[in-house]
């Protein structure tokens, strides 16, 4: 039996629809700039720059229904509704044709972002970690296993703030579809069971403030709700 000098942290997990068992999170990968209309609203050209990868710590997962404390060091917290792919079988250099065999299931996600810090990082050519990887930044609903939800090459994705629609698009509009995301990501990292992949957000991103109720949804996967709450400063 292994002895530890500190109490080991508990592993982050995500609920699974229709099951009492939970999905253990290994890593969280994210795709940026994967919908052309969103690339344009961020000032980019989807014909010149392919999607990119970044990551969040595994323990940033924020379950459905949980409050999101307004993060420190930002005045421009943004929502980003996204399809999340949950990996069930790992691998590297995964072929496009085999990519979907690695998927355990899908969930609705919200890639919360300190947009002001991201803009500053982009302008200075610096990493995105402080903009993307903050505590509680990875909103995620229950994972729907492929056996019940199937795969999702298309389907409506939307987001509302206080009941007003802010984002609406279709999963079919992704520049890299799910097989392409898995194949491309597995060239850079060995994927493992338990990995989550946020596949990028459509256009319409914008700010939220304490008190706002943010609901993201994807056809076939239900909804993901968070209340933004003020943070104590100590």
Residues that bind Mn ion (CB under 5 A): 80, 111, 201
Which residues on neighbouring strands pair with residue 63, listed in sequence order?
A: 140
Q: Give the count of beta carbons closer than 10 Å to the beta carbon of residue 220.
A: 15
Nearer to Mn ion, 51 or 145 (CB): 51
Nearer to Mn ion, 137 or 201 (CB): 201
Nearer to Mn ion, 111 or 177 (CB): 111
Nearer to Mn ion, 18 or 50 (CB): 50
Nearest to 54 by CA among 139, 114, 131: 131
Nearer to Mn ion, 74 or 201 (CB): 201
Question: Which residue is nearest to Mn ion, using beta carbons?
Answer: 111
Q: Cβ of residue 54: shortest distance to Mn ion, in angstroms?
A: 8
Q: Cβ of residue 199: shortest distance to Mn ion, in angstroms?
A: 8
Q: Cβ of residue 221: shortest distance to Mn ion, in angstroms?
A: 17
Three-state helix/strand/coil letters over the chain: CCCCCCCCCCCCEEEECCCCCEEECCCEEEEECCEHHHHHHCCCCCCCCCCEEEEECHHHEEECCCCEECCCCCCCEEECEEEEEEECCCECCCCHHHHHHHEEEEEEEEECEEHHHHHHHHHHCCCCHHHHCCCCCEEECCEEEHHHHCCCCCCEEEEEECCEEEEEEEHHHECCCHHHHHHHHHHHCCECCCCEEECCCCCCCEECCCCCEEEEEECCCEEEEEEEECCCCC
Nearer to Mn ion, 15 or 42 (CB): 42
Q: Cβ of residue 22: shortest distance to Mn ion, in angstroms?
A: 24
Q: Cβ of residue 7: shortest distance to Mn ion, in angstroms?
A: 33
Q: Cβ of residue 82: shortest distance to Mn ion, in angstroms?
A: 6
CB 44 within 8 A of CB 12: no
């Amino acid at each position: 039996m292994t002895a530890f000098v500190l109490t080991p942290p508990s592993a982050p997990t995500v609920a699974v629809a229709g099951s009492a068992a939970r999905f253990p999170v290994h890593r969280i990968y994210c795709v940026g700039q994967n919908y052309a209309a969103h690339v344009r609203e961020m000032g980019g050209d989807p014909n010149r720059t392919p999607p990119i990868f970044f990551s969040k710590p595994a323990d940033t997962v924020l379950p459905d229904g949980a409050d999101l404390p307004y993060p420190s060091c930002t005045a421009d917290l943004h929502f980003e509704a996204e399809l999340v792919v949950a990996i069930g079988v790992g691998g590297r250099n995964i072929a496009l044709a085999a990519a979907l065999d690695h998927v355990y299931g899908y969930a609705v996600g919200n890639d919360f972002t300190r947009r002001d810090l991201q803009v500053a990082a982009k302008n200075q050519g610096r990493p995105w970690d402080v903009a993307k990887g903050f505590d509680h930044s990875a909103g995620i609903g229950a994972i729907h296993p492929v056996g019940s939800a199937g795969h999702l090459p298309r389907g409506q994705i939307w987001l509302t703030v206080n009941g007003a629609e802010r984002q609406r698009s279709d999963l079919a509009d992704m520049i890299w579809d799910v097989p392409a995301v898995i194949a491309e990501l597995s060239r850079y990292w060995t994927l493992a069971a338990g990995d989550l992949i946020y596949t990028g957000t459509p256009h319409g991103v914008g700010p939220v403030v304490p008190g706002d109720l943010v609901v993201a949804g994807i056809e076939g996967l239900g909804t993901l709700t968070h209340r933004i709450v003020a943070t104590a400063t100590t």
